[in-house]
Amino acid sequence: MAEILIAGVGSTAFGNHTDRTGRKLFAEARSSALEKSAVPRSDVDALYYGNYMGETSEKQSHQAPLMASGIGTPGLEATRVENACASGGYAVADGVRAIMSGEADVVLVGGLERMTTLETAETTAALARAADELHEGRPGLTFPGAYALLADAYMERFGGTHEDLAHIAVKNHENAATNPNAQFHDRIDVEDVLEAPPVADPLGLLDACPISDGAAAAVLVSGEYAAEHNLKPAVAITGSGCGTESLSLQERGELTRTKAAESAAQAAYSQAEVTADDVDVAEVHDCFTIAEVLALEALGFYEPGEAITAARKGETVRDGQLPINLSGGLKAKGHPVGATGVSQLVELTKLLAGTHPNADAAPDAEVGVTHNAGGTVATAAVHVLEVAE
């Protein structure tokens, strides 16, 4: 595909930002990305912006022009994408496609979520709207319950224990401890996870990502634009893929695979002309510990049934053969829904460029992957990033 380079990235810290409006949070990420890119604001051709629940959390729909006007380019095209927790990843994919179409040379991709403005029960209700209202929401299924069903199905078929899953949470907290943008900096151990209050059996409180506020943004430019303006970004997007599966779990043939992510990965790998074996590092959608397992198998890093022990065996930890979620992941970096897919791009770009505080864990990494999922992976966006030549 056409060369697409990541000219600059920016992010707020993730956590509790009830003292700032969404537009101020996004402005911080946007300004940071634009400044680092050295691209003049007036060169930005379009904004693709992920947001999930702004109409509920801030009574603000139609956020794209609000977020675009801060860029200062008159008449800028701007689009809000809402694909639940995959909103950010799909915004990135739209940005890639805009450059590929030849209609844009410079695109800002970004995402934002404010979630702590609401009571926890309201946030849970808003999140539940990402499931099938008729067949899941109305009968009372929430996302912790849905992922518990997936964990049950997985363990029934392949074996594995809650202790296996606990190692994933421990690993991601360990990674977040040294990431200043992460929501949690406390290290936890396996016992902490196993003894945490149960949420939906077999998952407990420390198997789940937190409720977060935060924003992330990245400036993408075409290879031609970079050459003309003497920009030399360190990292390129070489593959972009998206996929879907039925929104409700009941319509799926099996619950131990996430086919939307498999489709997205195949498309992204094919475009990048890489295979799973080429990948050195990945940021994957670990909204619950079991979700990281499903992600690693959908991405082809592990055969079905084998990823559940990956963290426990030390294969995906900081010093393992395939470090996963060196940022801390959704689990410990935090999960401001609409920002997450873009944040994965931000963190992975820094890891590949060697500017991330945890980059020393992947010093020779050349190929990385982001995996962003919506709902129970009814939507997925996968991107392949490579060190630019």
In the bound state with its own copies, the residue whose beta carbon lies nearer, of 57 and 172, is: 57
Distance CA 205, CA 192 (A): 10
Candidates 28, 105, 113, 132; binder of its own copies (CB under 8 A) is 132
> Binder to its own copies among 118, 126, 196, 274 (CB under 8 A)?
126
Residue 53 lies near its own copies (rule: CB under 8 A): yes
User: 47: which strand partners?
Assistant: 78, 108
- Helix H or strand E encompassing 153: helix 143-158
Please choose, out of 50-58, 155-163, 169-177, 312-320, the segment that lies near its own copies by the rule CB under 8 A: 50-58
Does position 103 bind its own copies by CB under 8 A? Answer: yes
Give the total residue count for the chain.
389
H helices then E strands: how many in the chain? 13, 11
Widest CA span in the chain: 57
Out of 105, 245, 280, 283, point to the residue binding its own copies (CB under 8 A).
245
299 binds its own copies (CB under 8 A): no
Find the binder of its own copies among 36, 41, 43, 60 (CB under 8 A): 60
Token pair of 273 as six digits:
């002309």
Which amino acid appears at position 252 of this protein? Answer: R
Task: Find out whether 357 and 179 touch, Cβ atoms under 8 Å.
Answer: yes
Listed residue (3, 64, 13, 6) closest to 33, CA to CA: 6
Smallest gap from Cβ 73 to its own copies, in A, equals 9
Given the rule CB under 8 A, which of 9-17, 93-101, 212-220, 286-294 is the region that contacts its own copies? 93-101
- Least separation in angstroms between residue 211's CB and its own copies is 16
Closest distance of CB 388 from its own copies, Å: 21
Assess 174 for contact with its own copies (CB under 8 A). no
Distances (CA, A) of 19 to 23, 215, 349: 12, 14, 29
- x/- mask, its own copies, residues 17-36, rule CB under 8 A, reads ----x-x-------------
Q: Is 148 an interacting residue with respect to its own copies (CB under 8 A)?
A: no
Residue reference for tokens 């426990």: 312
**CA of 291: how far to CAs of 308, 318, 354, in Å?**
10, 19, 27
Nearer to its own copies, 95 or 323 (CB): 95
What are the residues whose beta carbons fall under 8 Å from the beta carbon of 4, sequence distance 6 or more?
A: 96, 99, 100, 220, 221, 222, 223, 236, 237, 238
Three-state secondary-structure class, residue 250: helix
What is the token pair recorded at 79? 């689009």
User: Interface with its own copies by CB under 8 A: which range of 70-78, 172-180, 283-291, 316-324?
Assistant: 70-78
Contact between 353 and 382 under an 8 Å Cβ cutoff? The reply is no
Residues from 311 through 330 that contact its own copies (CB under 8 A):
none
Considering the rule CB under 8 A, would residue 372 count as an interface residue with its own copies? no
Size, binding site for its own copies by CB under 8 A: 61
Q: Which residues are catalytic?
A: 85, 335
DSSP letter at 340 equals H
Which of residues 17, 30, 259, 383 is near its own copies by CB under 8 A?
259
User: Using an 8 Å Cβ cutoff, are 284 and 290 in contact?
Assistant: no
Residue 238 interacts with its own copies (CB under 8 A): yes or no: no
Report if residue 79 touches its own copies, rule: CB under 8 A.
Answer: yes
Residues 260, 266: Cα–Cα separation, whole Å: 10
Answer yes or no whether residue 3 interacts with its own copies by CB under 8 A.
Answer: no
Tell me which residues touch its own copies (CB under 8 A). Answer: 21, 23, 46, 52-53, 55-56, 58-62, 64-66, 68-69, 74-84, 90, 93-94, 97-98, 100-103, 126, 129-134, 137, 242-247, 251, 259-260, 262-264, 374-375, 378-379
